[in-house]
Amino acid sequence: MHAGPDDVAEALAARLLARLVEIQRDFRIPQIGLTGGRIATKAYQRLAAEGARSAVDWSRVELWWGDERFVPAGHSDRNDTQALELLVEPLPLSTDRIHPMPASDAGLDLDRAAEDYARELGSTVLDVCLLGMGPDGHVASIFPEHPSSYETGGVIAVRSSPKPPPERISLTLPVINRSREVWFLVSGSDKAAAAKMALLGAGPVQVPAAGVSAVDRTLWLLDRDAAAELPADLQQRGRI
């Protein structure tokens, strides 16, 4: 548990740098699923500042996204916009290893865009999938009691999203759950009730975050406000 959102972001950046080095020491190319949101943006700022001085070979890092708003490329609503604006210039990333989800101005309709990303992703297993969580317990663009929460395919077209914009592309829970590790980034008192429900076993349709379980480790990086409703013993099990 961390004091506040800045501490969550700092912990995320430090953990990710260390994990990337470990994966590359095993002679593997890290497969990382990025997310959007305030904490992720703060963490990307830290990666941009410190990453070039690290032992990470950024030209051998694959970047994917867990979900995306189906709006034009470069739009401020897109999760990839801020991430790439922050990371591309300071870090020697290979453009061939950056996999943004299709934008609405790419000449594809929403269904075709989701199908194309599913083909691009293929059977890729993410080493680390970063996820935020909404106050309603949604993850990526999988929302409670919404058609997206029932999907079992790979990459889906999401319509009538409860949170604007209404059209999105998202990985499904089965694809998220085949990740080696999933790291949740959660801050704020408005997330406390959802964090409690997710960690105490609510149903994945009612609280999609409760349905996330990575192959090796599911890690929750929370600040004090987000963890305020959790029982004390839960905070001592190595997941938070």
| Residue-level pLDDT at 238 | 41
Tell me which residue has tokens 């499904």: 172
Q: Which residues of the chain have pLDDT under 50?
A: 238
| Residue-level pLDDT at 152 | 85
Using an 8 Å Cβ cutoff, are 184 and 191 in contact? no
Both tokens assigned to 79: 């999760």
Q: How far is CA 211 from CA 30, 148, 175, in A?
A: 24, 13, 12
| Residue-level pLDDT at 18 | 98
The pLDDT tens digits for 45-92 are 999 999 999 999 999 999 999 999 999 999 999 999 999 999 999 999
Tell me which residue has tokens 């949604």: 138
Considering only CA atoms, which of 118, 132, 133 is closest in space to residue 174?
Answer: 118
| Residue-level pLDDT at 131 | 98
CB atoms within 10 A of CB 7: 17
| Residue-level pLDDT at 237 | 52
| Residue-level pLDDT at 236 | 56
